[in-house]
């Protein structure tokens, strides 16, 4: 399971961080106890999820389809249903709301590739269409807010080269990335042409279309209809 792998990865990193500390015996023992507390809650949640999954595997999915709905169904949420722990005394009104889905990283790559989905199905005409909406993207990106364990639990040199390890970034927990290339799709949902924008070692940008290479400004890159973004760890 993804959650189990994330917990194990976090425990390994905490253990390695504790072993590598240069503190005395008393402080080291205190840090070890604190590190264990950091993963205790995740382990408890993991055990609850695994137990509930085993119960769901042996349940009959068709059982109870003809039963009369309970009056308390409106007061239960997805978490109560999953863990099978509804409290009939809880009369909190449930309202429909817009949900947000968040993706967090457990490991940061040396090169981050972001794919922007430009094709979608239009139910009104029954065809695939291309989304031409503008997507704003930065030239520099900090991945620390998007890491599963927070900026303090991840060291920047994990992503990039060991030769580029930065004590400043390690102190503040930043995960700096710089945009190196952008791929743009020109056309519609059924065909078109791909061009690439590439940054060289001097910071200049170039547009590459087949064998044609022309210099462009950052403003031109920033306003293109991006299809893929490539960020490199600093």
Taking only the tens place, the pLDDT of each residue in 13-48 is 766 766 666 666 666 677 677 667 766 777 777 777
CATH label, 111-233, candidates 1.10.3720.10, 3.30.465.10, 3.90.1150.10, 3.90.70.10: 3.90.70.10
pLDDT of residue 163: 35
Phi/psi at 121 (5° precision): -90, 125
The better pLDDT of the pair 67, 30 is held by 30
CA distance 19 to 31: 10
The better pLDDT of the pair 99, 36 is held by 99
pLDDT of residue 78: 52
Q: Where along the chain do the CATH 3.90.70.10 domains lie?
A: 111-233
14-18, 132-136, 218-222: range with highest mean pLDDT? 218-222
- Do 156 and 169 touch, CB atoms closer than 8 A? yes
- Do 36 and 7 touch, CB atoms closer than 8 A? no
pLDDT of residue 22: 60
Q: What is the pTM of this model?
A: 0.52
CA distance 158 to 21: 17
CA distance 50 to 64: 23
**pLDDT per residue over 162-219, tens digit each?**
334 333 344 446 889 999 999 999 988 888 999 999 999 999 999 999 999 999 999 9
pLDDT of residue 214: 96
């Amino acid at each position: 399971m993804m959650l189990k792998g994330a917990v194990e990865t976090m425990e390994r990193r905490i253990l390695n961080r504790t072993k590598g500390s240069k503190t005395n015996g008393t402080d080291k023992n205190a840090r070890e106890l604190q590190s264990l507390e950091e993963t205790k809650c995740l382990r408890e949640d993991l055990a609850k999820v695994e137990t509930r999954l085993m119960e769901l595997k042996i349940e009959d999915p068709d059982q109870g389809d003809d039963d009369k709905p309970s009056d308390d169904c409106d007061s239960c949420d997805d978490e109560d249903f999953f863990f099978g722990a509804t409290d009939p005394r809880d009369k909190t009104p449930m309202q429909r709301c817009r949900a947000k889905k968040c993706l967090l990283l457990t490991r940061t790559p040396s090169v981050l590739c972001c794919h922007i989905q430009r094709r979608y199905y239009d139910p009104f005409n029954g065809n695939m269409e291309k989304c031409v909406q503008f997507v704003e993207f930065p030239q520099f990106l900090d991945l620390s807010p998007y890491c599963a364990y927070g900026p303090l639990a991840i060291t920047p040199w994990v992503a990039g080269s060991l030769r580029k390890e930065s004590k400043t970034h390690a102190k503040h927990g930043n995960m700096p990335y710089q945009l190196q290339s952008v791929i743009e799709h020109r056309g519609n949902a059924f065909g078109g042409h791909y061009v690439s924008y590439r940054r060289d070692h001097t910071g200049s940008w170039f547009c590459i279309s087949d064998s044609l290479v022309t210099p462009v400004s950052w403003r031109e890159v920033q306003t293109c209809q991006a299809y893929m973004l490539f960020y490199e760890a600093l």
